[in-house]
Amino acid sequence: MNNQLQKKLEKLASQDVGQVAFSEPLSQHNSWKIGGAADLFIEPDNFKQIATVLRFVSVNQIPLVVIGQGTNLLFDDAGVRGVVLKIGEKMADIQISANTIVAGGGAWVPQLTRMAMQAGLSGLEHCIGIPGTVGGLVMMNGGSQRKGIGENVVTVTVVNNAGITQQLSQSECDFSYRHSALQGSGCIVTRVELNCPAGDVKKIRRDMLADLRNRRHKFPRKQPNCGSVFLSTTAMHTTVGPPGKVIEDAGLKGLRVGNAEISQQHANFIVNLGGASSKDILILIKHVRQKVRKHIGFELDCEVRYVQPDGILVPAHIQADKL
Ligand SMILES: Cc1cc2nc3c(=O)[nH]c(=O)nc-3n(C[C@H](O)[C@H](O)[C@H](O)COP(=O)(O)OP(=O)(O)OC[C@H]3O[C@@H](n4cnc5c(N)ncnc54)[C@H](O)[C@@H]3O)c2cc1C
C-alpha cells in the first residue's frame, strides 16, 4: 500500500465505521479459502456506518469491495488495495410477521429459510443449502431448482454509492436467472422484505431435508469450494445437460492444476486441495472453457466473481481468458 492510501485508510478507520482491521487475510473470508490481504477490512453495525464508508471512499477514490460470506467470490493472491466491507452477523436481524419476512443484508440464508419453515411460510425451500448472506443472495438472485430469491422479494433497501438509503421494488431490481439490476450498481443491500405464502410446516420441512440430502450426496462437502463455478444455460441444458455433466463428458473430472482440482464428486465444483492459488483456479477455468468449447460446442461462463486487486469484480472467466 502506498503512503497516501495508507494515510487515507487510517483516517477512515478512525471514524465511526464499525470493526476495522488492517492487512486482513481474505482467505479467512471466503469459502474457497483463497486470497491475499485487504488493506482495510471493515465490518459495520448499521446503515449510518455504511454511509460514512461509502461517502469517504467515493470522495477519496478508494477501491471498495462489498462481501457477505464470500461463497461466490475468488480473491486474488495479491488481495485488495483498498477497503473490503463485510455485511455480516452484525446486520443479520430477521423479523417475521404474517406472510412478511424482513431480513438484514447480513442474515445467513440457511437460518432465514429455517425460520420461514418454523413460521409455516413456504417459497424459500430451494435456498436451504445456500451458505451465503441474504445480501449476496439478492445481489446474485441466487436459488436452486431453477428458482431465484427474486420471486419472493417485495422491496430491497440499499445504501447507494452517494451514501443515501433507498428502497427498491421487485421490478426495479429486474431479477432474471442469477442476475439483478443491483450488480455493478455500487449499492449495498442492507435489508430485504420478502413475501412468502403460508404452507404446511411438515411439507416445507420434508422438502428442505430432501434438498439437503441431495446436496450432501452430490456436492463435495469437506474441501473448500464456492459452489457451482459455471452457469447453466437453457440451450446447453436441453441439448447436452447441465455444466457438471458437460464438464464430465469432456473428460475433465479430477483434472488438477497446482492445488486446485475439478471435483471428483461433481464436475461443476472446483475444490481447493490445500494451498491453492487464485491462478490455479483461473487456469482450471480457462482449460475447462477451451475444452468444452472445442469438444461440445458450448460456451461456459462463470457464476463466480473474481475480485481484482483494484477492487473491480468480473465474472471469473473474463480474468481466466486473459491468462
Ligand atoms: C457449497 C455451496 C453451495 C452453493 N449453492 C448455491 C445454490 O444452490 N444456488 C446459488 O444461487 N448459489 C449457491 N452458492 C453460491 C453462493 O452461496 C450464493 O451466490 C450466495 O448467495 C452468495 O452470498 P454471499 O454472502 O456469500 O455473497 P459473496 O460471495 O460475499 O458476494 C457475492 C456477490 O454479492 C455481492 N454482495 C454480497 N453481499 C452484498 C451486500 N450486502 N450488498 C451488496 N452486494 C453484496 C458481492 O459484492 C458479490 O458481487 C453456493 C456456494 C457454496 C459454497
- The finding on whether 223 has its CB within 6 A of some atom of ligand 1 is no
Do 197 and 228 belong together in one domain?
Answer: no
**Is 228 tagged catalytic?**
yes
| pLDDT tens sequence across 59-115 | 999 999 999 999 999 999 999 999 999 999 999 999 999 999 999 999 999 999 999
Q: Are residues 103 and 139 in the same domain?
A: yes
Last residue of a domain, one of 150, 177, 205: 205
**In the predicted model, what is the mean pLDDT of the chain?**
96
Task: Give percent above pLDDT 90 in the chain.
Answer: 95
Q: Which atom of ligand 1 is nearest to the CA of 73?
A: 29
pLDDT band, very low/low/confident/very high, at 216 (cuts 50, 70, 90): very high
Yes or no: say if 144 and 129 are a contact pair by the CB < 8 Å rule: yes
Pair 96, 194 in one domain: yes
Q: Active-site residue among 24, 43, 125, 303?
A: 303
- Residue 50 and residue 20 in one domain: yes
210 in a structural domain = no
CATH number at residue 8: 3.30.43.10
User: How far, in Å, CA of 169 to CA of 197, rounded?
Assistant: 19
- The verdict on residue 212 lying in a domain is no
Looking at residue 150, which CATH number applies to its domain?
3.30.465.10
**Interval between CA 295 and ligand 1 midpoint (Å):** 31
Domain count, the chain: 3
Predicted pLDDT at 161: 86
Query: 127 lies in a domain?
Result: yes
Query: Do 191 and 282 fall into the same domain?
Result: no
Tell me if residue 261 is catalytic.
no
Residue at a domain's end among 205, 229, 254: 205
**Structural domain for 226, as ranges:** 220-320
- pLDDT tens digits, one per residue of 267-285: 999 999 999 999 999 999 9
Q: At what angle do helices 201-218 and 109-118 cross, to 10 degrees?
A: 150
314 and 296 assigned to the same domain: yes
The span from the CA of 193 to the CA of 300, in Å, is: 33
Q: What is the CATH number of the domain that holds 283?
A: 3.90.78.10
Residues 118 and 102 reside in one and the same domain? yes
81 and 116 belong to one structural domain: no
Active-site residue, 55 included: no
pLDDT digits (tens, 9 = 90+) for 150-196: 999 999 999 998 899 999 999 999 999 999 999 999 999 999 999 99
Regarding whether 29 and 120 lie in a shared domain, the answer is: no
Residues 136 and 200 in one domain: yes
Which residues have a Cβ under 8 Å from the Cβ of 249 and sit 6 or more positions away? 240, 241, 296
Verify whether ligand 1 is closer than 6 Å to residue 224 (CB atom): no
211 falls within a domain:
no
213 domain-assigned: no
**Residue 214 domain-assigned?**
no
| Over residues 232-241, mean pLDDT | 92
Q: Are residues 76 and 113 in the same domain?
A: no
Within-domain flag for 153: yes
Give me the helices (H) in 187-277, please.
201-218, 234-239, 243-249
- Indicate whether 242 belongs to any domain: yes
What is the chain's alpha carbon radius of gyration, rounded to the nearest angstrom? 20
3-state secondary structure of 99: coil
CA 192 – ligand 1 centroid, Å: 15
Mean pLDDT of 7-15: 98
Cα gap 152→93, rounded to integer Å: 18
pLDDT at residue 26 tops 90: yes
Beta-carbon contacts of residue 159 (< 8 Å; ≥ 6 apart): 47, 50, 51, 54, 165, 166, 187, 188, 190
Which residue among 50, 65, 86 closes a domain?
Answer: 86
**Catalytic choice (55, 178, 205, 215):** 178
Same domain assignment for residues 60 and 123? no
